[in-house]
Every structure is written in structure tokens, then in C-alpha cells.
Structure 1
Amino acid sequence: MFEFKGGRNKLYYWLTLLSGFVESLFFTGIVFGWASLVFVLKVDGYFAGFCSNTTREEDNALYIDCISQDEHFPRVMSVASIANTIIRLPIGYVFDRCGTTATRLIAVSLFTTGTLFMSLSDAETSLLLYPALSCLITAGTILHITNAQVGNLFDSYRSTIITIYNGAYDSSAAVFLIIKLLHERGVSLQSCFLFLTSCSIIHLLRTFFLMPRGHIPYPLPETFTYGVSCPIRRRGRGEETDKKVDVKNRRADAETSALNVLNKPLYEPKQGEEASFQSCVLSWLFLWHLMWVVIILFCQFIFLSNVNSMLTRLANNDQTLVSQYTNAFAFTQLCSVLLAPMNGLIMDRHKHRPLAPGETKREADLHSSSLALFLTSLQCFLFCVCFTCPVLRLQYLTFVLQVVNSSFFYGGHQAFVSFAFPMSHFGKLTGMVMSLSALVLLLQFPILHLIQHQLQGDPLYVNVGVTLVSLLTFIHPLHVNLYCRKLAKQRKTEQEVNE
């Protein structure tokens, strides 16, 4: 199915691909199973000290008010998501500047710290959840970023591989479901996270033996080598080769990207010169993509932060029913790994046809991406409509749409940045998108406070507003489509002049 460049290294490419898939499936996105873990944390009494005895005004009966406890769980997720987005820009800089090994060592350190905090926490030390979850989500994201470049080992299926990894990233949320099921059978939460801590050795082995020190370039040169298969004498020469490959790759990127990155930029690079980071950031192509990412991320995290409290409210506090729907959501997330490649196939559908006269690979990639971007925007809108409706049974459809949208979104985002802009800026650009998203994600705190206190736990009005905002995401695919038409028109005009 897949065609590789560099036949002598096929085994290494396959090992890198498969080990990266396993890593993505079991470690990178486990935090997105937060709804399953919240159920366990409530059973173990986390933040229970914030509950209080209250008298009901109607009949003067005493009951336990746990609104303050319920506020902490979405707040933990909100803090973690914001910490993750803020740190993305410096991490992207480290990745572009220092390479894969240094970046992954940071991720392994954060993953180990996060799992240790979780294993040391209990009802008395519930506040450890804040740094623990922040470390876990950041570590998973960093590992995921370094794995995205594995798609460069493939020729015609680059976007498909990126989206497969993103599907595994989403499906790893099921790890917290496994912890929930084990907890119901008597396995302690602390034991589960101690096991995850021991798995850090897997990340270290893969970092040193199955990933390059620098980067995997695109296009992939036939001479590109990495890992322990390289003879000891040639390691230094191999590193020099990697650097030369990077320079050569940047020059190749310049030919296809420098003149087309921007629509009306403040700065336009000369022909043969690689587009600068600043010129990429100031392009309309990047700015509309930034808005697209920010809005979809906001919709996703508003839902993930409130899913447990939403189910509790719709189920009239029936914990058996809440557990049933929580399990259904987690099982639905498992399907992400099957759904994500569909977006990659949509983006790669043009790879098997010849390019039009004068058409660049970048232009063809952008044209194919417009459909994928539109479908992602449509899914986001339908997802928002469903979770806005206060009908418990309808949430099954909400779960499906959330998983489909998340699968399309993360893979589409990374694939778009990888071919719309020079690869030498990939880490910084994806990092900047997520870091700027943090400013909008800060709105979660006043919104959560508004829902709990002013709206008495009913998020209907907030959800209606989020649904209306999601309509703005359709601007990005429309702009990309118009941009590609403009490039095609310019190409046709140049051909007529030359004739």
C-alpha cells in the first residue's frame, strides 16, 4: 500500500511507524478521557472537602451541596488545556532549533512527573491534579508533535499517516476508561498510574533508537539514515548529512512555498528565498487558519470540561446512568483511530493524478485541503447543535460527532500547516497557533463561573452562543478555495502570455 523512499531503510521506517502508532494510541492523548477519570475521582472523594451540608428552602430538609466540588473538575481540565496551549510556542521553537531528541526528552520528563503526581495524590491532596493533568496533556502533545514528522517517510500517503496518528491520539482517551473499569474491579488509581510511570522507559527507548536526533526532512532524500542501524564511524557524518539535507530541503521548500504563502503580506520574500517566520504569521492564510483552530478548540474544550456535569444534570443525578453514558463516550472515542484516516485520504486524493501544467504540489495540496476543512467546520457546527439540545439520548449522537470532528480537526490542522508553509517553521507555527489559542481558552473560566452561579448549572444560553460562533469556521475553507482559484487564474494567465 505505502511506497517508501530509501529502500535500505524500509525496516527502520516500518519500526518507526508502528512504534509511533502504539505510542500515540496508548500515551499521547489520554487526558481526553477526562470524563472517565472524573467518575473515578469522585468515587475516591477528590475535592469532597468542598461539599457542605445545606438546608433546602422548600421543605427545610438537609442535603449535601457539592457544587464547589463539581466546579473543580472542569477547572482542572481548563487549566491543563491552557497550560498546554501556552507552552506550545516555546516547545515548537525547541523542536525546530534543537531537534527531535531534545524535544522528546522534555516530553518524557513531563509524562513521568505527571503520572507520579497522580500516583501520589489522594482525597487529601486533590490539588495535585492541577499540575498532574497539565504535565500529562503537555507531554502527550509534545510526543504527538514529534511523531507527526513520521509521515515524511512516505510519499503519496503523507497526510494519511498524519491523520492516522491523530486518530490514535484521540483514541488514547480510552486509557482512562480502562483505568475506570479496573477501578471498579478493585485496582487502585495509584497502581494504575505507577504502571504508566514505568512505561516512560518505552518512550526513552524509542527516542534514542527509532527517532532521529534532528528531523525527518521532506521531501525525503534516498541517503537519509537515522538510528542504531548507522555504523558507529559514520554517526558524525550522518549528522552532517542531516544538516545538509535540512538546508537542501529548505531550498526546495522555498521554490514551492516562498511566492505562494501569502496573499497580501506585509513582507514578501524574493524568489528563491525561503518565506520567513514573520511573513508566514502575517499571511491571511495563517490568520484565517488560526481563527479556525481557535474556535474549534474552544468548542471541543467547553464540551470536554462540562461533559460530566452535563450528563449528571440530564440524568437527574442518577450515577448509574451517568456511568453508562460516560462509558459510551469513552468507547466512541476508540473509533477515532478508524475515522481519522478518512480526512487524510481526502487530502491525499490528488496524489495519484498528474499535476496540471505549471501547478505546484503545494497548490494541489491546498486545493484538496479545502474540502477537508469544510467538512471539519460542518462537523463542528453539528456537534455544537447536538450538545446544545438538553436531551439525554441525543448525547449519543453528540459523542459520535465530537469524535469525528476531533479526528478530522487535529490531523487536518497539522497536515495543512505542513504543506501550506515551509517545514522549517512547522514547530513554531503549530506552537504559535496553540499558544494564541490559550488567550481564547482563558474565557473558559468566566464561562464556567457563569454556568455554575448565574445560570444555576444550565449551560443552554452559553451553548447557543458557542454554536453561533462555530459558524465562523466556514470562512477558512472558503478563503482557501478562493485563494486556490486565484493561483489557478494567475497560472493560466502566465501560460497565455508565454504562448
Structure 2
Amino acid sequence: MELYRKYPVLITIWALMENLLFAGVIFGWGSLVFILKEEGFYFDYCTQSDFFNQNNSTLLETTSAVNVSNSLSDRDTVLSNISKADEVTSKDCPAQESKLNLWYSIATSAMNLTYAAIAYLQKRFGTRITRAVFVSVYLIGTLCMAFATPELPWLLLPGLLGIGIGGMTVSCTNIQVSFLHPRLRSTIVALFIGLFDFSSINKQLIRIAYENGIPRRTSYIFMSVVFAVITSISTMLFLPKMFIGDVYLEEMERSQKLSKCNDDKKVEQAENQDELPKSQEQELVENSSSVDLEVSPESSKLSFCSTVFSITCMLHIYWTFVHAIRMFTFIGQINVWLENVFDYDETKVGDMLSSFSYITMAAIGTALFCGFVYDYQRKRYAGSGEIKRVYLPVVLPMGLVFFYSTGTTVFCLIKNDVTPYFAFVLFTFFRTSLYAVAFAFLENAFSADYFGNLMGILLFVTGLGGLIQYPLFKWYEAYDGSYLHVNIFLLVLQVSTVMHLVLLYIKGCRDKGTVHINVCSHEMKSNNALQAT
């Protein structure tokens, strides 16, 4: 029983709730790594120099206190101070942090790289089987995170992989419900992206629970149970067995046309008292209840390979790839950047990281803003020609993404105590708008049957962008002033993506056609002229 046909609003709300609770949990890494350091994961990687480097003055004061005081209570106090100093320095151990970040980098890259395979499985076996497999993967991941200990630290890698890949699958199998709401499609896609980013706050809740005495294991086991219950309900009852594709969309459009056509016929028959000849009446019924096969989308729809290798699709993939590199490098190097801005003042760096976490909580609002802009543009060009009404509406949202992305890079080039706040705000808009616009354009410009596969390719390419950040990190460390050169390099790449916007604008302006809607006849062919360009 597939309830999405009868209760589209309920299904959409449920899918959005899943995204909020589980989809992007892996991106709350900053809160999780704090807990892992507290528990001593990979503490044995720290060397003696790491231990005493940054708190030398504290230890000297402690040694002085030992020399001055010989009482037992004073010595206990001194030993306590040494322990606290050791605890602080353990948090600043580069080898420990590097090892933990390695697992995170592998997990986030794998999350995007494997979605091409996930999209194939969804196309081949359907939504239900695909979700059943990867819900199990997610549960294995949460249990690995629950039972990982400093003695079994390797469980972190399968745990992060399971949560990342499973969460991405949950999000991408849910996003198809946006097809149930044609007029708000872009807004709903943007909302999914915003909730995906916002779900990282769940790790912050786990951290708060940990600081209040609730063990990490208990939190992850509770999370596993809630996840199993909620996703099982939607997988078995709410979402389609296969997927929402062109067939369902055509049925929905046809039913709307027939409803309008029947209403028009009743009005016409009431006004015209003369009886139609039987032959004309039969012809009217046939025209109102069938689709012209000569323009059926199935007969002339471009193949998947032709769609992927079209100029529009290739440029869209490149546009997403470049801006994804900017996003990954900003997140990965935010500590290095802030240390450079504040001259290694750890207190200020910590305060700015907290500010960054709170600012990014506005992701839902920024995603909705992006979706509203896109949907407004679509309504503005709704009566235009087939190419123009798809290409021109996306130019403004893509232009905003370009502005957010380049603005973030520019502020990274300015060394000032205030610029990080502007960079954080722009990055929050940028992070949600990037994927919201990228996915919404795939939905609007290409066949719904190819959406899952195209999104898989897009995420695979962004996963490559996540891997490319590693040589950029090495460039950061190569010499003094390298941070400036890396950001200039990224700025050049970002500027090169303008050609995608320009070509979309030119192609859209060249289309001078208009759409004249006749509810009793099949509308103009869809998407074929778009894909051919």
C-alpha cells in the first residue's frame, strides 16, 4: 500500500522530519571530536613535546609551587593542576587530531562517492529495497559509534561511514517527494537541503548530554532505536516501492487536465442547447480523454547518456564541483584560517568556532530563502517558451550562489577580527543554496526518471571535490603565505563557473516562444529541447 498518492502533505512532512533527525548527523563532527578527545581516543599518538609545548608556563608555575610548599594538601593541589594542564594539552595534540580528522575525511568523501551506486540500486531495485539495505548500514554505523572505545578506536571508521552513507541515502530517497508538489518543488528541495545541514545539531545534543553525565554509548543506542522505528514506517508504508518518476507525474497532470476539461464541457453544453452530432460528440470525448501519441514524451525522450553528456549537464556538474571544493576547504581549514587571523589565540579561536556553530543553525531559513527565490523566478517565466521557462529562472539563484561563494573567499583573504562573522554568514547561505539550486535544476531541466542517477553523478563529483581538498591542505602547509595563494587559486576557479550562468542566460533569451495552455489537448513536448542543448 503506497500512501503517497493519497496523503502527499503527510508524506512530505514525515520525510522532512527524517532529514532533520538523521540525514546530516555526520557534519556535527566538531561536537563529536570534542567527546572523543575527552575520552582519550588516539591519545597514545601524542608525544612528550606535544604534551608540554603550549602550557610551558603553567608547568613552570606548578614546579615553583612544589618547591615552595611541602604540605600534603598543597602537593595534591599541584598534582591536580598538572593533571588539568595535561588534559588541556592533550586536546591540542596534532597527531591525535590528524588521526581523527583522517577518519572524518574518508567518511565524508565516501558518503558522496558511493551515492552513484546508491542511485543505480534505487533505479534497479526501487526505493524500498534500497532503503532497507542502507537503513541497516546506518544502524551498524550508530552501533559502531556506540561501542567504540579508546581500546577499539578503529570502530570509529565503520561508524562514521555507516552514518554518512546511510544518512545520505535517507535524504536522497526522501527528496523525490518534492515531485508531489509541482508549484513548490524548488522550495521543498531547498528545505530538504537546509534540514540536512541543520541535522548536524544532533551531535551538539549528544555533547550536551555527555557533559551532563549521559554516556556517549547510551545516546547512540537511543538514536539507533528511534531511527529504526521512524525509517521503517516510511519505508514500508509511505514511500513508493519503486520511485516517483515520469509515469506518476504524467498521470497527475492528465487527471488535472481531464478535470478541467470536463468542467469546461459542462459549461459549454449548458450554454449550447443544440445537440451535437454523434460523430462530433465521440470525437470530443476521445480528444479529452487521450494523449496525442505523436508527441508522447516516451517516444522522443533522450537517452540517459545523451542527457549526461549534453553541454548543459556537463557545465552544471563542473559548476557544482568547483563550489563544492570551496565548501569542503572552508570547513576543513577553518581552524587554520582563524588561527592565522587571531595570531594563534586559542581563546578567540574557540569563541569564533562557537559563533560559527550558532550562525550555521540558520541553515533552514537560508534554504527557504533560496527556494522561494527559485520558485518566484519559475512563476515569473511560467508562460514563456519551453527552454526559457527552465533556464532563465535558475540564473538568479545560481548568481546568488556565486556571490556567496566568492564573497566567502574574499573575506578569507582579509585579516581582520570582524571579517570571520561576515564569512560565516555568507557561508551559511552558500552551503544550503549550493545543493538546493543544483538539485532543483536537475529536477526542472531533465527527466524525472533520470533524477536519481543524475543526482548520484553530481554527488560523486562533489565527493571527488572532497578528496581534492587533501592536496590543497598540503599546499597550505608548504610555505609561509601559502594560504593567500590557495584562496586566490580557488577564487579563479569560482570565477570560471560564470560561463555556466552566461550560457544559460543566452540560451533562455534566444527562446522567443510562449506557451498557450489548452486543457483539452496535450501540452507542448517537455524537456527534450532542453536536454538537446
Q: TM-score, normalised by structure 2?
A: 0.75
Corresponding position of 2:408: 383
Distance in 1 separating the partners of 2:487 and 2:401: 19
Shift, 1:315, TM fit = 5.4
1:42 corresponds to 2:23: no
Per mean C-alpha deviation after superposition, the further-off stretch among 302-311 and 401-410 is: 302-311
Shift, 1:197, TM fit = 1.3
Per mean C-alpha deviation after superposition, the further-off stretch among 190-199 and 481-490 is: 481-490
1:17 corresponds to 2:12: yes
Shift, 1:85, TM fit = 2.2
Alpha carbons of structure 1 residues 466 and 350: separation in structure 2 relative to 1, 3 Å: closer
After superposition, give the CA deviation of every residue in 1:220-243 in whole Å (9 maximum; x if it has no partner).
634999xxxxxxxxxxxxxxxxxx
Shift, 1:320, TM fit = 5.1
Counterpart of 2:204 (choices 161, 177, 181) is 177
User: What is the one-letter code of the residue matched to 1:18?
Assistant: I
After superposition, give the CA deviation of every residue in 1:405-439 in whole Å (9 maximum; x if it has no partner).
11111111111111111111111111112223333
Shift, 1:75, TM fit = 2.3
After superposition, give the CA deviation of every residue in 1:453-484 in whole Å (9 maximum; x if it has no partner).
x3489744333322332222222212211221
Alpha carbons of structure 1 residues 459 and 79: separation in structure 2 relative to 1, 3 Å: farther
Q: Determine helix, strand or coil for the equivalent of 1:156.
A: helix
User: What is the one-letter code of the residue matched to 2:490?
Assistant: V
Q: Determine helix, strand or coil for the equivalent of 2:301.
A: coil
1:221 corresponds to 2:216: no
Per mean C-alpha deviation after superposition, the further-off stretch among 412-421 and 198-207 is: 198-207
**Preserved contact between residue 34 and residue 304 of structure 1 (Cα < 8 Å):** no
Shift, 1:323, TM fit = 4.3
Corresponding position of 2:355: 328
Corresponding position of 2:240: 212
After superposition, give the CA deviation of every residue in 1:241-277 in whole Å (9 maximum; x if it has no partner).
xxxxxxx99x99974xx9xxxxxxxxxxxxx421111
User: What is the one-letter code of the residue matched to 1:286?
Assistant: C
**Preserved contact between residue 46 and residue 96 of structure 2 (Cα < 8 Å):** yes
After superposition, give the CA deviation of every residue in 1:122-175 in whole Å (9 maximum; x if it has no partner).
233333322222221211111111111111111311111111111111111111
User: What is the one-letter code of the residue matched to 1:369?
Assistant: V
User: What is the one-letter code of the residue matched to 1:160?
Assistant: T
**Preserved contact between residue 115 and residue 459 of structure 2 (Cα < 8 Å):** yes
Counterpart of 2:136 (choices 109, 116, 119) is 109
User: What is the one-letter code of the residue matched to 1:472?
Assistant: S
Shift, 1:390, TM fit = 4.3
Q: Determine helix, strand or coil for the equivalent of 2:243.
A: coil
Per mean C-alpha deviation after superposition, the further-off stretch among 85-94 and 344-353 is: 344-353
Shift, 1:54, TM fit = 2.2
**Preserved contact between residue 99 and residue 214 of structure 1 (Cα < 8 Å):** yes
Corresponding position of 1:277: 304
TM alignment of 1:195-344, pairs within 5 A: 195-201=222-228, 202-217=230-245, 219=249, 221-222=251-252, 255=297, 272-308=299-335, 310-311=337-338, 321-344=348-371
Alpha carbons of structure 1 residues 155 and 210: separation in structure 2 relative to 1, 3 Å: same
Counterpart of 1:423 (choices 448, 452, 457) is 448
Distance in 2 separating the partners of 1:224 and 1:43: 60
User: What is the one-letter code of the residue matched to 2:22?
Assistant: F
TM alignment of 1:51-70, pairs within 5 A: 51-54=46-49, 66-70=93-97
Distance in 2 separating the partners of 1:482 and 1:110: 45
Corresponding position of 1:402: 427
**Preserved contact between residue 75 and residue 445 of structure 1 (Cα < 8 Å):** no
Corresponding position of 1:76: 103
Q: Which structure has the larger Rg over C-alpha atoms? A: 2
Shift, 1:310, TM fit = 4.4
CA-based RMSD of the aligned residues comes to 3.4
Q: Percent identity?
A: 25
Distance in 2 separating the partners of 1:57 and 1:321: 19
Corresponding position of 1:87: 114
Choose between structure 1 and 2: higher helix proportion: 2
Corresponding position of 2:123: 96
Gap runs ≥5 in structure 1: 1-7, 226-247, 259-271, 492-499
Shift, 1:342, TM fit = 1.7
**Preserved contact between residue 388 and residue 460 of structure 1 (Cα < 8 Å):** yes
Corresponding position of 2:397: 372
User: What is the one-letter code of the residue matched to 1:16?
Assistant: I
User: What is the one-letter code of the residue matched to 2:139?
Assistant: T
User: What is the one-letter code of the residue matched to 1:467?
Assistant: L
Shift, 1:87, TM fit = 0.8
**Preserved contact between residue 32 and residue 304 of structure 1 (Cα < 8 Å):** no
**Preserved contact between residue 173 and residue 333 of structure 1 (Cα < 8 Å):** no
After superposition, give the CA deviation of every residue in 1:255-314 in whole Å (9 maximum; x if it has no partner).
4xx9xxxxxxxxxxxxx4211111111111011111111111111111222334544665
User: What is the one-letter code of the residue matched to 1:367?
Assistant: L
**Preserved contact between residue 337 and residue 412 of structure 2 (Cα < 8 Å):** no
Shift, 1:322, TM fit = 4.4
Q: Determine helix, strand or coil for the equivalent of 2:49.
A: strand
**Preserved contact between residue 116 and residue 193 of structure 1 (Cα < 8 Å):** yes
Distance in 2 separating the partners of 1:379 and 1:252: 45
Q: Determine helix, strand or coil for the equivalent of 2:40.
A: coil
Alpha carbons of structure 1 residues 207 and 305: separation in structure 2 relative to 1, 3 Å: same
Q: TM-score, normalised by structure 1?
A: 0.79
